[in-house]
DNA sequence: ATAAAATACTACAACAAAGTAGCATATAAA
DNA sequence: TTTATATGCTACTTTGTTGTAGTATTTTAT
């Protein structure tokens, strides 16, 4: 997998929640629907609640709901929030940084590839994702 | 990092070796030059020797050398040899496979992105990489 | 107030990836 | 044939990620 499990799970959870984006989802209802380990998922939810995407409501009848429209939540933001997008935007050879005078032949095409990837991620919103996914959950 | 450390190291080693592609390189000479943990690098070399890129010569005055021109060794092959390219060609959401009738809106752009990535990797040879990298080693 | 139903927190367990150590084996030069 | 110098192999350690367990806290309904 290109991204970490945690990131994959986060995207799946948020995508599922976006199918009825004003609803309040309990952790239990999400676990029952998606195939994500219970307690691990709780932790992800708690972390996501500290983001600007969703909020948690504690206590009886609590759960999670969006505080920002899924129209305006993009994959790149989610990945950045969970893992930090930089983790996936590094050099192929693992070098931290190359000075302009020592760029290798890979650099240009590699940079373009990464930009294309980043563009895809930063232009795809949760709302985009759920179109045509009725069969998925 | 997008790729595993092992893959990054493999690419760096082979790229370095390609700068003088007919030379026999001892493990020690590579370790001294590149910043890769000694024994870990040895293991990578042994594994690479079982690939079709390089061979090892044991015993005194031994080392490693190419058995295939770096002109014809592409990054995609190296990645495939070390980690298996499939590891990096999966779905963003971590799903194994989606039936044609349940593809999500992400699928098309994601597939395109992956293809672009794969194209870059499968068209960039080691020889391509070393051009303009004299400062690097 | 109390109980029920939810999330939050903390510590631990299991697993995989990365890195280390030591000994075995191979080979060429002396 | 011995020695020096190289790679090969196997088991271990460390570190990071993924997953589990139990308890604490929060809040609503009764
Ligand atoms: S120049 Fe080459 S080695 Fe340096 S960051 Fe760019 S791709 Fe990596
Ligand atoms: S349709 Fe969507 S969820 Fe399915 S494999 Fe393609 S990108 Fe992944």
Q: Where are the domains of chain A?
A: 5-131
Reference B82, options B126, B113, B49; nearest CA is B49
Chain B interface includes A25 (CB < 8 A): no
Residue with tokens 């051009």: B131
Mutate to test the pocket of ligand 2, among B96, B103, B109 (most ligand atoms within 8 A of CB): B103
Percent of chain A with pLDDT over 90: 58
A56-69 per-position pLDDT tens digit: 999 899 999 999 99
Beta bridge partners of B46: none
Predicted TM-score (pTM) of the model is 0.87
Contact between A10 and A48 (Cβ < 8 Å): yes
User: CA A62: distance to chain centroid?
Assistant: 23
3-state secondary structure of A74: strand
Q: Check whether A6 has a pLDDT greater than 50.
A: yes
pLDDT of residue A100: 67
Length of chain B: 137
Fold classified for B5-131: Arc Repressor Mutant, subunit A (1.10.10)
Cβ pair A5:B93 closer than 8 A: no
Hey, are the CB atoms on B8 and A120 less than 8 Å from each other?
A: no
Instruction: Give B37-90 pLDDT, tens digit per residue.
Output: 999 999 999 999 999 899 999 999 999 999 999 999 999 999 999 999 999 998
């Amino acid at each position: 997998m290109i991204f970490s499990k945690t990131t994959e799970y986060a995207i799946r959870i948020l995508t599922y929640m976006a199918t009825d984006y004003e609803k309040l989802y309990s952790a239990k209802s999400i676990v029952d629907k998606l195939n994500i380990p219970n307690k691990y998922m709780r932790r992800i939810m708690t972390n996501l609640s500290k983001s600007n995407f969703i909020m948690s409501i504690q206590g009886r009848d609590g759960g999670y709901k969006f505080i920002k429209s899924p129209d305006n939540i993009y994959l790149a933001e989610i990945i950045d929030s969970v893992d930090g997008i930089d983790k996936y935007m590094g050099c192929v050879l693992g070098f931290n940084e190359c000075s302009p005078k020592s760029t290798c032949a890979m650099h240009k095409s590699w940079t373009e590839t990464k930009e294309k990837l980043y563009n895809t991620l930063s232009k795809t919103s949760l709302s985009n994702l759920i179109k045509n996914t009725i069969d998925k959950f």
